[in-house]
Amino acid sequence: MAFLYIIAPVKSLNSKQRLSVGPEASEARSIIKKIRVKLKQALLSLFSNEAIINLIRTIEKEKVCVKYRTQLLSENIMTSYGLYAATCEHGYFNKEQYNIEPDSLRNIINMKGTGMQSSKWEDGDSIFVVGERIEELAYYIAKRESNKKSLIIIIGRSDRDINEKCIQLLLSTGKVAHIFAQNCVYRMHSVTNIPLGIENNGFMGSTNPRNHPEIIKRILMQKQVNEYERVRRIIVAFSLHTNKKERVRAMKAAIKNQYCIYNPPRKGVLEDQIQFYENLCRYTHCLCPVGNGIDTHRFWLAYLFGALPVINNETLYKGLPGISYYCVNEWEDINKPEFIRKVEHYRWEHDNRILCLRLDYWANKILDVKRRIRQL
């Protein structure tokens, strides 16, 4: 509130009546410009790394990271890794290579193993790590001379399957209390699988509809209007190169199915991406074969816009609250009469308020673990 009182007289000085002509006006404008720069720096300092971390830890009603709340929660869209990284106090990755915004991280360790040497670890602190660096992080945690701490590890920004070997390696350090991981195929009480979500904003830059909130909102409105008028078709919109073996099988099966519509968006073409999103609002089903990783952005895009995902591996999705999908054993099963009947008579009352589509749901999950550790 103190800043509001400082800004108010600045606005009055900037009125046309007082600063319209003369050298005094030019000097005053220069002074005001400098004041604004100082104010901006002061305001930004309010939301520095430590401030964000403290807000996350202490404010019950505002559990979601300040940096992402307004930008993403208002659109009810889940990002790939930005939220998860933003809830962490530490990061282990090469920020140039992985293009991760480290604004909310207190400390970043680089590839040479420096950066966290002097940082102080607290019980409940979380470390964001890309999947390819798990072994390095486990080695670093294990060798660091410190008292035993109950750390949280969040694994993301990777296509790697996080299996039992990865999990046990981190737990064997004796300093890890809980692990949240994308593409996690191993289950135990101290491990939580987190969704890959939809493409992050940096993917394809300006040609990504995620960078045009007004487009997303318009399409979501369209989804609500068309919810009970969907065309009973299966949209097929994926490239083959990310997992040629698996996706060629899915494509061969889809070619034989009269209900499949092939409409892949061209990468880097905004209009095609928008058309793909609109098609997800128009049709009832979406074929979602795995790509580079076992989880796919397409699954979550389909779910967001109301098309039922059709998959052939449900390992990651079991146990997620409110999630619906159709799982086939083999892709050829989409041509069997029982599946065709399901498409013909399908009616899905989709609700994009389902918990696991919300950013705050996963932020709260992470923060609840932090709180539980710190209360022990």
Provide the mean pLDDT of the chain.
Answer: 73
pLDDT computed for residue 7 by the predictor: 34
Helix, strand, coil fractions of the chain, as percent rounded to 5: 50, 15, 40
Longest dimension (CA), the chain: 84
Tell me the pairing of strands 308-311 and 283-287: parallel
What is the C-alpha separation between 211 and 239, in angstroms, rounded?
22
Residues in CB range of 192: below 8 A, 6 or more apart: 178, 179, 180, 181, 184, 365
pLDDT computed for residue 147 by the predictor: 62
What is the C-alpha separation between 141 and 122, in angstroms, rounded?
13
Which residues belong to CATH 3.40.50 in the chain? 205-353
pLDDT computed for residue 51 by the predictor: 46
> Tokens 């892709």, residue?
331
Residue among 295, 285, 294, 167 nearest 230 (CA): 285
Encode pLDDT of 332-350 as tens digits.
Answer: 999 999 999 989 888 766 6
- Cβ proximity of 223 and 352 under 8 Å: yes
Q: What percentage of the chain carries pLDDT values higher than 70?
A: 62
Residue 361's SS3 state is helix
Provide φ and ψ at 177, rounded to 5°: -95, -35
pLDDT confidence of 374, banded at 50, 70, 90? confident
End-to-end CA distance of the chain: 36
The answer to whether residue 254 scores a pLDDT higher than 90 is yes
pLDDT confidence of 149, banded at 50, 70, 90? confident
pTM over cut 0.75:
no
Give the best-scoring range by mean pLDDT among 15-29, 235-249, 356-370.
Answer: 235-249
The answer to whether residue 16 scores a pLDDT higher than 80 is no
pLDDT computed for residue 310 by the predictor: 96
pLDDT computed for residue 169 by the predictor: 96
Provide φ and ψ at 34, rounded to 5°: -65, -40
What is the C-alpha separation between 130 and 148, in angstroms, rounded?
23
Say what the alpha-carbon torsion angle 62, 65, 69, 71 is, to the nearest 10 degrees: 170
For the record, the structure tokens of 363 come out as 């932020």
CATH number assigned to the domain covering 205-353 = 3.40.50
Encode pLDDT of 17-43 as tens digits.
Answer: 444 445 555 666 666 666 666 655 554
pLDDT computed for residue 65 by the predictor: 37
- Cβ proximity of 153 and 126 under 8 Å: yes
- Cβ proximity of 44 and 11 under 8 Å: no
Give the best-scoring range by mean pLDDT among 101-105, 195-199, 352-356.
Answer: 195-199
DSSP 75: G
pLDDT computed for residue 164 by the predictor: 96
The answer to whether residue 309 scores a pLDDT higher than 60 is yes
Task: Compare 82 and 52 and report the one with higher pLDDT.
Answer: 82
